[in-house]
Amino acid sequence: MSGFTITGGVSFSGAVSMSDMPPAPVVNTAAWFSGGAFGYGPSKVDRITFATDTDTASVRGTLSSARYGSAAAGNTTDGWFGGGSPGNVSTVDRITYATDTATASVRGPLSAVISRLAAASNISLA
C-alpha cells in the first residue's frame, strides 16, 4: 500500500519559504584537461564524462595558445587555465562547461608571467 490518508482538518499558518530549503547537491559529471609536455604544444581542451569513463576523452575546444605547466581551477559553471610555458605566459583562459565546444575566451592576465604554478577554487552553494 502506498500513499497516505489525512483525516480531520489540516491548517497552516505563517509563511512557507523556499529559501529555507537546503541547496540542491552539486553533481559532478565531467572533467576537463588541457596542456601537456614541452614539445607537444597542445592547446586543445579534452573532456571526460564520468559516466562513460572507459571512453576516450573528447576534444571540446582550444585554449588561446598552446602551453604546458599551467594551472587550472573551476566552479560549477566555468573553468580557468592560467599561466604556463613556453616563454612563461600570463594569460588566463576561461571555458564554460555548458558550451564547451568553443574556443576558450581570454579573461585577463595574471599579475606576472609564470609557469609551473598551482591553483585552487571554492564553491559556494549559498
Q: What is the pTM of this model?
A: 0.72
DSSP string over 62-105: E-SS--BS-EEEE-SSEEEEE--BTTTEEEEEEEEGGGTTSPPE
* pLDDT tens, residue order, the chain (126 aa): 566 666 776 666 666 566 666 666 667 788 888 887 656 566 888 888 888 876 788 888 888 888 888 899 998 889 999 998 887 889 999 999 888 777 899 998 999 998 888 999 887 765
∠ CA 55-30-101, nearest 5°, is 85
**pLDDT the model gives residue 12:** 60
**pLDDT the model gives residue 91:** 92
